[in-house]
Amino acid sequence: MSTVREARRRRLIAARRRRRSVWLHRLVAAAAVAVTIAVLTAGPQRMAGNTAALLALLSGIPQHGNTLGQPTAPVTVTEYGDLTCPIGREFARGSEAQLISDVVASGRAKLVYRGFETTSATANAGEYAASQIAARAAGLQDRAWYYILLFYDRQRAETTRYVTDGFMRGIAAAVPGLNLAKWRAARRDAALAAAVIADGRAASAAGVTGTPAIFVSGRRGTFQFSDPNTAVPTLPQLRSLITRVS
């Protein structure tokens, strides 16, 4: 009888250890996500080149072209953006980063980036198309979202003419696994230039007037985020739209 009791005691101890191990693993994972979000949402002085945090945010999430997330995800969140837009940067470093870690990583939604010129016209109008083509060129190697988020991270004042070929090459050099020779060649691809033009036309047809403009699509339809008090949706607002279309 004592042998039976001893075996039962050992099984209980083993079960407790397994539960503790699972709990610790979840705690560490949650902490890692929280640290990544905290770094991404830090002030400009603390945000200089947070490449490691961006890589951690996107790690393990599939990419294809300008889409981030599982191709079979039931909901599509589309961002129309201008990479020089400071509000777009605020979105990328805040609720969009939270959306990626909380919703896109789990497969509940995928995220699509499309271009629409707004702030580039202030000082970088000549490079708007080039900046968008550069992101799509990275997308040919399934690296577009690394490029997009790194561009937002390294963004400067919208009144400054900084979007040069050297600036864009510097971002490309920071993208993990990107073949730079193929990326440079792809930037001359007429199909990518046509895709950028198509993005702008689609945005105009949808009534977009500013960036970022967020649309959420699912089996129950498509809805654009709209709030008279802010241009940047919070994660709860995004979740509400996702629920609405699911």
d(CA 83, CA 98): 19
Q: Which residue has 């490079």 as its token pair?
A: 127
Q: Which of the four pLDDT bands, split at 50, 70 and 90, describes residue 54?
A: confident
- Do residues 125 and 85 touch, judged by C-beta distance below 8 A? no
pTM here? 0.81
End-to-end CA distance of the chain: 56
Does residue 46 register a pLDDT over 80?
no
Does residue 75 register a pLDDT over 60?
yes
Strand order across the beta sheet in which 75-81 lies = 63-64, 67-68, 109-115, 75-81, 213-218, 221-224
Read off φ and ψ for residue 220, nearest 5 degrees. -100, 10
Q: What is the pLDDT of residue 15?
A: 53
Q: Which of the four pLDDT bands, split at 50, 70 and 90, describes residue 128?
A: very high
Q: Is the dihedral of CA 106, 110, 116, 117 positive or negative?
A: positive
Mean pLDDT within 124-136: 93
Q: Which residue has 């770094």 as its token pair?
A: 39
Per-residue pLDDT tens digits for 145-158: 999 999 999 999 99
As a whole number, the mean pLDDT across the chain is 86
Q: Which of the four pLDDT bands, split at 50, 70 and 90, describes residue 218?
A: very high
Q: 3-state DSSP call for residue 63?
A: strand
Give the pairing of strands 109-115 and 75-81: parallel
Q: What is the pLDDT of residue 149?
A: 97
Per-residue pLDDT tens digits for 142-200: 999 999 999 999 999 999 999 999 999 999 999 999 999 999 999 999 999 999 999 99
Does residue 100 register a pLDDT over 70?
yes
- Do residues 224 and 116 touch, judged by C-beta distance below 8 A? no
Q: What is the pLDDT of residue 222?
A: 98
Residue 81 token pair: 């953006």
Q: Which helix (H) or strand (E) holds 10?
A: helix 2-40
- Do residues 152 and 97 touch, judged by C-beta distance below 8 A? no
